[in-house]
Structure 1
Amino acid sequence: AVPDGQRAILAPLRGRRRVIGTALFLRDPERRAFGHDDLLVAAQLATHSALGIEKAALDGRQAFIADALQRRMLPETLPPSTGVRLASRYLPAAETARAGGDWYDTIPLPGSRVALMVGDVMGHDLTSAALMGQLRTTAQTLAGLDLPPQEVLHALNEQAQRLGTDYIATCLYAVYDPVSHRITIANAGH
Structure 2
Amino acid sequence: MDISSCVKSFLVYIVIFTFSVQATLGSIACEKLNKDSCAFAVSSSGKRCVLEKNVRRSGEEVFVCSTSQIDTDKLTSWIETDECLDACGLDRNVLGISSDSLLESRFMQKLCSTRCYNGCPNIVDLYFNLAAGEGVYLPSLCQAQGDSKRRGMSEIRSLGYIAAHGPMVPTKLMVDGSPTMAPSPVGPY
Give the TM-score normalised by structure 1. Answer: 0.37
Structure number with greater Rg is: 1
Greater relative contact order structure (CA < 8 Å, 6+ sep): 1
Greater percentage in strand:
1
Greater percentage in helix:
2
